[in-house]
Chain A
């Protein structure tokens, strides 16, 4: 192979890596089930190599309570967990046809037949778990950089697409 062919092969590799990342994420979004989650903004911050500020989010489902989901004593920090979600009876503010998804159960392995989101245990309390799902950071984009809308303490409705493997992606926020 000539140097030119090697060069083109390198370009193909780079496009495949970046394209693969995009396709992988689009798979989650296109094939996933969209749910509404209740969250609170923890303010914006910049990240290295980032295009703009990111918003930190804290969801209701980040905190799992023992009373509602069964025993949590066997879980440790770093454990991979699968949180069963149900759409609760508490409707979204002002819109009765939509409800927030809440945590209903905790599993080590993906539950069969259930709708679940995948997360990692980050902290263990007496009767609670703090679980992160990888959707706690959101890049609002240049058109939505409204600091007042996403400022610290603001309650937000976050639409998340969850695929069959429990991987979640934020689709919109407001």
Chain B
């Protein structure tokens, strides 16, 4: 149906349904035959089955499914637990999850970018980039909260524990691959518009994730130089990470706006608008919840959001009209 173009949307939906049903078949077969196989192994078999179909049918939906399966399998393999299984997370590894997913997201983004040189597979590449970008944005967003970093420091989740070898090796491999791919693409086309910003920001993201992995807040606090508390009442190291991740998220949102504007892609612009709203609302809550009386908090917040909504909608409408012309 997709190839002869009579019903391309229905065809694409049926292909995606087929991929989902294959996964269901793998899980059901394992249940019916009482198989002693870990859930992550079944998920890997599902990935092995659907990945070729993503390329065979050039299906963006199946590509997205493959990307999510690959990320979940990588996470389960490295962190030694099982989604939907009953194997608990290795306690010493939990702090590294957001950092790992930032790197994994960037790796997926770069893998997606490679597909743009392969005629006919641009939508496959675009889906990889979309999933990678979303993954990195969500994890980066989590790390922008002061209380997230404070929880890490207070709970001492890795006190006395060391990250497992498989996590360290996996994290290092993913970082090396993502940086290598980024360097390769930059050297291939250094003069493409906003290339320097895109690659530079990606490299900074990976380096920040590596820094967070090697020196998480609770370890960094043990270094005398970072023990100084400041008048805000939070340790310096948490402030450094908070500012760093907020700056990176802000820069990423700006990149989305920039690329969306130059490519006249309203989807990117919409994404940037949504994430800037999340960031603004989250920072407003994060900074002012304790400092304002709650009624004033909601009153002022409501007015600000209303004004913001009017401005954003007006700007978005102008951009959309300009792109359509």
Contact = CB atoms under 8 A, between A and B. Distances in A.
Of the listed residues B27, B35, B84, the one surrounded by the most CB atoms of chain A closer than 10 A to its CB is B35
Contact of B29 (A13, A22, A169): A22
Interface string A151-174: 000000000000000011110000
Nearest to A7: B56
Contacts of B80: 78
A138 interface: yes
Contact of A134 (B3, B36, B45, B53): B36
Nearest to B42: A21
B30 interface: yes
B35 A21 contact: yes
A22 B48 CA distance: 17
A135 B33 CA distance: 12
A22 B29 CA distance: 8
Contacts of A17: 26, 45, 48-49
Contact of A21 (B3, B33, B52): B33
Contact of B33 (A25, A50, A133, A134): A25
B45 A49 contact: no
Given A6-B56, A21-B29, A170 B34 contact: yes
A96 B33 CA distance: 30
Nearest to A160: B34
Contacts of B3: 3
Contacts of B22: 14
A167 B36 CA distance: 8
B225 interface: no
Contact of B34 (A6, A18, A169): A169
Contacts of B48: 13, 17
Contacts of A88: none
A21 B42 CA distance: 10
Interface in A115-160: 133-135, 138-139, 141
A113 interface: no
Interface residues of A, number: 31
Interface in B1-43: 3, 22-37
A54 interface: yes
Given A21-B37, A169-B36, A51 B31 contact: yes
Contacts of B27: 49-50
A21 B26 contact: yes
A133 B53 CA distance: 35
Contact of A10 (B28, B29, B32, B52): B52
Given A3-B3, A133-B36, A49 B29 contact: no
A48 interface: yes
A34 B49 CA distance: 33
Nearest to B84: A48
A135 B29 contact: no
Nearest to B53: A10
Contact of B28 (A26, A49, A78, A169): A49
B165 to A, nearest CB: 13
A14 B33 contact: no
A13 B34 contact: no
Contacts of B34: 25, 135, 138-139, 169-170
A148 B214 CA distance: 54
A25 B33 CA distance: 7
A49 B24 contact: yes
Given A51-B31, A135-B36, A168-B36, A13 B24 contact: no
Interface string A1-25: 0010011011001100110011011
Most buried by A among B25, B28, B29, B31: B31
Interface string A37-76: 0000000000111110010000000000000000000000
Interface in B230-255: none
Contacts of A54: 31
Contacts of B30: 21
Contacts of A170: 34
Contacts of A49: 23-24, 27-28
Contacts of A168: 36
Given A49-B28, A139-B34, 20 more contacts: A3-B3, A7-B56, A9-B52, A10-B52, A10-B53, A13-B48, A17-B26, A17-B48, A21-B26, A49-B23, A50-B28, A50-B31, A51-B28, A133-B36, A134-B36, A138-B34, A139-B31, A167-B36, A168-B36, A169-B36
Q: Which 3 A-B pairs have the closest CB atoms?
A: A134-B36, A49-B27, A170-B34
